[in-house]
C-alpha cells in the first residue's frame, strides 16, 4: 500500500512587468465600469426612477397594471358600539367631497292616478313622505353651436316722415344696432370655451390634437386638428402673449429664481435638421413669492446667451443644476447649486454596485451625508428666513465640512470614470455653488421646485413628441406658462384660460393696460380651485 502525502498547494507566483500590471489594472477597471453601467441601465429600464427609499415605495409596483383595483378603497374598519343588551357593528364608509355649488337636477318619480288607488277601499292615496337618492352624473364634453343674433332697430315714425318729406335733405331715419361682442378670433367660429377646452386637453391632460380630433369625430363633429391648431396659435399670440410679457417683467424683478431646461424636437427649425435638439427653458419664482410665476421659453439651443437675455434686468440668486451655461451669466446673478443632483449622483453610484455589496460602501456614506442635509431642511420648513439661516449654520455647516473632508480623503483611491468617481467630481466641482444656500434663508437646498414645474411639459412631450414649427413651440411655451402659473396660484386652468379669452377682446378696446388686469392674482373667485 502506497503512502499518500498531503500536498500543500500554493498560488503560483508570476513575475510580470510594470506595463503588463498597468494593462491588467486597466482591464479590471474597464470591467468594473462596464458592470456598473450594466446595473445602472437595468435599474433605469426596469427599476423605479424615484430616489425614495424602498420603504417609501413599498406597494407601489402593483399600481402599474392594477391601477383601478389598487386604488379601490378596502372596506373601512368596522366600529363596534356597545349597546345595553347586545353589540352592534356599524359599517364605515369613505365620503368623497362634492362641491356645495354643484348644479342639482331634481327628477321626481310619482305614481300615476291609477297606481295611487287604494287596494282596499279604492280611494286615491295621498303623499305622506319621500326618499331621496343622490347620484353623481358626469356629462362628457359636448359641442353646441351657439348663434348670437344682433338686431337692428329703426324708427318707423321717422321712416314715415322721411317718405313724406322726401324732398328735404336733412330728414333721415335713425338706425341703431345692438352692440356686438368682440370675437376671440375675428372671422372664425371659434369660441373662448372651445379654445380653452382644446388648450386644457392638450397642455394639462396631454391629449394631442389628433386624439381630440378623433374624440370629436366619434360625436359626429368633424373638427380638424389643423383648425384647432390655428385657433390655439392665434389665441396664444393675440391674447396670451401680452399677459405672458407682463409676467416676465414681474419675474425679473424678484430676488430669488429657479431655472431648468429640457429638450424639444422642432421639425421645421430654419437652418437645422429635424433630428436636432432644441430646448424648452423654464424660469420660476421661489417659495418666497406671494404670487408664484412659472414661465417657459423656447430656444433653438442650450447656449447661456438665451438665459442671459431672458434674465436681463434680474439681479439676485438663481437656483440651477450643474450645467456650466448658468455659470457664464452676468456677475450680479449668483448661481445656487442643487443638492438633489449631488445626492442623485451618490444614489447612482450605490445602484451601480451589486445589492449584496452596498453596505458600508463609500457611495452609501456619501448618500447618507446628503440625506442628513435634507432631513434638517425638513425640520426647518416652518422657520423664518432669518432663523433658517441661523439653524443651517449651526446644524448643517458641520455636516458639510465633514462631507468635504471625507470626499478629499477618498478621491485619490476612486477611479475617475466610475459612478462614485463621477459623484465625487460633481461634488467638488459644484462645491462653491452647493454652499451658497447658506447665505440666505430664502434659498432652497435643491432645484426641485423648477424640476417639478418642468415635468408637465416632459409628460406632454411623451404624447405629442415634437413641435412642427418654432411658432408652435413658442405658443406652447406661452400656454404652458399661463397654465402652470394658474395652478401655482390655485386657479383652475380651464376656467382661468376661459376668463382670459373672454375678457381680453373686450378690455383691449378700452384699456391700454388690459393685460395687467388678466394676471392670475386678479382672477375672480369663479376661477379658484374649490
User: How does pLDDT run along the chain (530 residues), one tens digit per residue?
Assistant: 444 444 445 556 667 777 766 777 667 766 766 766 666 666 666 665 555 544 444 444 344 444 444 445 555 554 544 544 444 444 455 567 777 778 888 989 888 888 888 888 888 888 888 888 887 777 778 888 888 888 888 887 777 766 666 555 565 778 888 888 899 999 999 999 999 999 999 999 999 999 999 999 988 889 999 999 999 999 999 999 999 999 999 999 999 999 999 998 888 888 788 778 899 999 999 999 999 999 999 999 999 999 999 999 999 999 999 899 999 999 999 999 999 999 999 999 998 888 888 899 999 999 999 999 999 999 999 999 999 999 999 999 999 999 999 999 999 999 888 999 999 999 999 999 999 999 999 999 999 999 999 999 999 888 876 778 889 899 999 999 999 999 999 999 999 999 999 999 999 999 999 999 999 999 999 999 87
Check if the beta carbon of residue 490 is closer than 8 Å to that of residue 529.
Answer: yes
CB 505 within 8 A of CB 190: no
- The structural domains of the chain, with segments of one domain joined by +, span 147-180, 190-320+457-530, 338-446
Confirm whether pTM is higher than 0.85. no
Is the sign of the CA dihedral 307, 312, 318, 319 positive or negative? negative
Alpha carbon distances (Å) from 303 to 261, 281, 300: 11, 11, 9
Torsion-angle region of 187 (φ positive above 0: left; ψ -120 to 50: alpha; else: beta): left
The DSSP output letter for 166 is: T
Amino acid at each position: 500500500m502506497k503512502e499518500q502525502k498531503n500536498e500543500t498547494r500554493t498560488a503560483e507566483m508570476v513575475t510580470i512587468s510594470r506595463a503588463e500590471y498597468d494593462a491588467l489594472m486597466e482591464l479590471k477597471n474597464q470591467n468594473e465600469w462596464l458592470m456598473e453601467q450594466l446595473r445602472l441601465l437595468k435599474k433605469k429600464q426596469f427599476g423605479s426612477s424615484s430616489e425614495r427609499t424602498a420603504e417609501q415605495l413599498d406597494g407601489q409596483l402593483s399600481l402599474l397594471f392594477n391601477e383601478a383595483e389598487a386604488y379601490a378603497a378596502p372596506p373601512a374598519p368596522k366600529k363596534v358600539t356597545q349597546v345595553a343588551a347586545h353589540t352592534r357593528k356599524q359599517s364605515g364608509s369613505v365620503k368623497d367631497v362634492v362641491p356645495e355649488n354643484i348644479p342639482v337636477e331634481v327628477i321626481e318619480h310619482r305614481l300615476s292616478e291609477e297606481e295611487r288607488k287604494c287596494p282596499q277601499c279604492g280611494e286615491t292615496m295621498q303623499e305622506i313622505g319621500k326618499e331621496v337618492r343622490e347620484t353623481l352624473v358626469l356629462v362628457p364634453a359636448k359641442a353646441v353651436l351657439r348663434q348670437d343674433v344682433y338686431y337692428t332697430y329703426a324708427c318707423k315714425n321717422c321712416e314715415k316722415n322721411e317718405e313724406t318729406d322726401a324732398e328735404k335733405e336733412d330728414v333721415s331715419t335713425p338706425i341703431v344696432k345692438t352692440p356686438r361682442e368682440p370675437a376671440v378670433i375675428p372671422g372664425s367660429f371659434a369660441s373662448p370655451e372651445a379654445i380653452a377646452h382644446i388648450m386644457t386637453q392638450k397642455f394639462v391632460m396631454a391629449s394631442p390634437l389628433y386624439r381630440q380630433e378623433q374624440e370629436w369625430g366619434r360625436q359626429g363633429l368633424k373638427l380638424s386638428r389643423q383648425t384647432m391648431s390655428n385657433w390655439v396659435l392665434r389665441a396664444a399670440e393675440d391674447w396670451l402673449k401680452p399677459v405672458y410679457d407682463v409676467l416676465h417683467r414681474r419675474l425679473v424683478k424678484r430676488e430669488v429664481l429657479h431655472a431648468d431646461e429640457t429638450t424639444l424636437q422642432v421639425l421645421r427649425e430654419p437652418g437645422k435638421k429635424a433630428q436636432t435638439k432644441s430646448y424648452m427653458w423654464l424660469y420660476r419664482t421661489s417659495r418666497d413669492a406671494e404670487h408664484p410665476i412659472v414661465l417657459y421659453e423656447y430656444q433653438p439651443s442650450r447656449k447661456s446667451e438665451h438665459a442671459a437675455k431672458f434674465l436681463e434686468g434680474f439681479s439676485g440668486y438663481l437656483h440651477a443644476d450643474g450645467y456650466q451655461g448658468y455659470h457664464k451669466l452676468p456677475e450680479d446673478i449668483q448661481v445656487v447649486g442643487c443638492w438633489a443632483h449631488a445626492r442623485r449622483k451618490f444614489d447612482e453610484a450605490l445602484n451601480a454596485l451589486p445589492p449584496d455589496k452596498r453596505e458600508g460602501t463609500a457611495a452609501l456614506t456619501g448618500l447618507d451625508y446628503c440625506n442628513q442635509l435634507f432631513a434638517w431642511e425638513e425640520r426647518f420648513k416652518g422657520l423664518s428666513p432669518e432663523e433658517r439661516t441661523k439653524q443651517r449654520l449651526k446644524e448643517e455647516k458641520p455636516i458639510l465640512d465633514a462631507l468635504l473632508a471625507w470626499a478629499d480623503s477618498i478621491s485619490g483611491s476612486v477611479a475617475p470614470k466610475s459612478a462614485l468617481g463621477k459623484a465625487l467630481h460633481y461634488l467638488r466641482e459644484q462645491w462653491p455653488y452647493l454652499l451658497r444656500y447658506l447665505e440666505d434663508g430664502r434659498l432652497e437646498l435643491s432645484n426641485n421646485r423648477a424640476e417639478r414645474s418642468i415635468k408637465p411639459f416632459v409628460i406632454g412631450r411623451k404624447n405629442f413628441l415634437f413641435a412642427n414649427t418654432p411658432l408652435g413651440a413658442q405658443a406652447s411655451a406661452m400656454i404652458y406658462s399661463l397654465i402652470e402659473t394658474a395652478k401655482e396660484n390655485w386657479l383652475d386652468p380651464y376656467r382661468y384660460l376661459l376668463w382670459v379669452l373672454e375678457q381680453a377682446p373686450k378690455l383691449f378696446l378700452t384699456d391700454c393696460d388690459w393685460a395687467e388686469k388678466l394676471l392670475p392674482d386678479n382672477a375672480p373667485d369663479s376661477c379658484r380651485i374649490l
